[in-house]
Amino acid sequence: MTMAMPTLQGRWCPSCGVSVNWEEEVCPNCGLPMEKAWGQPIPQSQQAASLPVEEMTPEEQVEIEEQDTRVIPRIESALPAENDPTSKVAIHEAMPRIRGMLLAGVASIALIGGAALALSHPWNPDAYSTRATEEADTSMAGFPGTVESLSGQDSNDGAPVEVVSGDDATYAELVGVYDKLAKYEERANESEALFLEVAFGDDLDERARGKRELDALAIDVSNLIEGLEQIDVTSGTYVGQRDNLLILANWLRNRVDTLGGAWKADVESADAGADKESLMALLTKDNDNSGQSTYKTLFDEHYEGWKPVAQEESE
């Protein structure tokens, strides 16, 4: 808003610089108390000049124009003036609000106190306890029940205990292997007889059954040899007899392998009757001059003579 103000006399707020009437005791813009008037009041003729031009009468406007007042326009901005850090307004605004400080303090105390209560559980001290709260009956703890005898004690009611030496145990194992060899050799004879009976016919089920039985025999013989090799003969008493049984077992396995090749070719043949000659060649490829498997001949010739014989334990 444009005001016509005398340049030599006037009254302004020392804080915000707004023009203030002489009779005002408080600045209408910033609200701070006004100091005592500077100089003398403006004459009535000059007070009219302090009014807005729009509010002057035509006569007053003419009089103002005729006077050499050397007035300059003063522009009052609606924006507040830049605060002076040393002014009373700046100091007043920089001061923290007492109410805000009190509320912040109360909130901090409540937050810290609540967290402390949540962690400590003063109303329930055992809230986080991991100890058992109920007594347990430990009167029978560790009781194994009624013990009739202690471990390691004799339990044969006074009967003598037979102590088996290492060589005696070895001999018993060799006898067991010797008996199994005879049984397995009989199964090989039965497999060969069955082959000559059904291998060239049309009964596919019987031919397949013959092959399955021979495959099972091959597994049993292999397991027997593996067990025989693990028999303990470190004393040296039964080393020779164990080696004889190993030779018998390997002759039997070679014969079983020959039978297995013949059975496999027979089952895979589309016309076993037409393939009889080639199948027989597989069956008899290890035969000797007598027409019998060489491995069977060797087995039969040595089996009785290599029967395990109990020996005195070597010193």
**Per-residue confidence (pLDDT) for residue 68, from 0 to 100:** 45
User: Do 181 and 70 fall within a single domain?
Assistant: no
**Per-residue confidence (pLDDT) for residue 72, from 0 to 100:** 46
Place of tokens 């164990």: 242
Residue 25 neighbours by CB under 8 Å, 6+ apart = 33, 34
User: Do 172 and 302 fall within a single domain?
Assistant: yes
CA distance 272 to 200: 5
Into how many domains does the chain fold? 2
Beta bridge partners of 167: none
Which tokens is 190 given?
Answer: 């039965």
- Residue 109 placed within a domain: no
The amino acid present at 306, given as its one-letter code, is: W
Contact 236, 170 (CB under 8 A): no
User: Do 68 and 174 fall within a single domain?
Assistant: no
CA distance 266 to 272: 6
- Residue 41 placed within a domain: yes
Buried b (16+ CB within 10 A) or exposed e, 190-206: ebbebbeebbbeeeeee
- Residue 150 placed within a domain: no
User: Domain boundary residue among 49, 75, 101?
Assistant: 75
Place of tokens 């050397």: 70
**Per-residue confidence (pLDDT) for residue 10, from 0 to 100:** 66
User: Do 175 and 301 fall within a single domain?
Assistant: yes
Q: How many angstroms from the chain centroid is the CA of residue 131?
A: 30
**Per-residue confidence (pLDDT) for residue 159, from 0 to 100:** 53
Residue 203 neighbours by CB under 8 Å, 6+ apart = none
Positions of E strands within the chain: 2-5, 72-75
- Residue 267 placed within a domain: yes
Which tokens is 154 given?
Answer: 């004799």
**Per-residue confidence (pLDDT) for residue 62, from 0 to 100:** 62
DSSP letter string, 167-185: HHHHHHHHHHHHHHHHHHH
User: Do 182 and 282 fall within a single domain?
Assistant: yes
Q: Residue 35 is part of which domain span?
A: 2-75
The amino acid present at 177, given as its one-letter code, is: V
- Residue 90 placed within a domain: no
User: Domain boundary residue among 52, 75, 98?
Assistant: 75
- Residue 65 placed within a domain: yes
Please list the rounded mean pLDDT of every run of 10 residues in the chain (315 residues).
51 82 84 64 51 65 56 49 56 63 86 76 62 60 57 54 71 94 95 94 92 96 95 91 95 95 94 92 91 93 94 60
**Per-residue confidence (pLDDT) for residue 99, from 0 to 100:** 78
User: Do 185 and 289 fall within a single domain?
Assistant: yes
User: Domain boundary residue among 50, 75, 100?
Assistant: 75
- Residue 119 placed within a domain: no
- Residue 131 placed within a domain: no
Buried b (16+ CB within 10 A) or exposed e, 100-138: eeeeeeeeeeeeeeeeeeeeeeeeeeeeeeeeeeeeeee
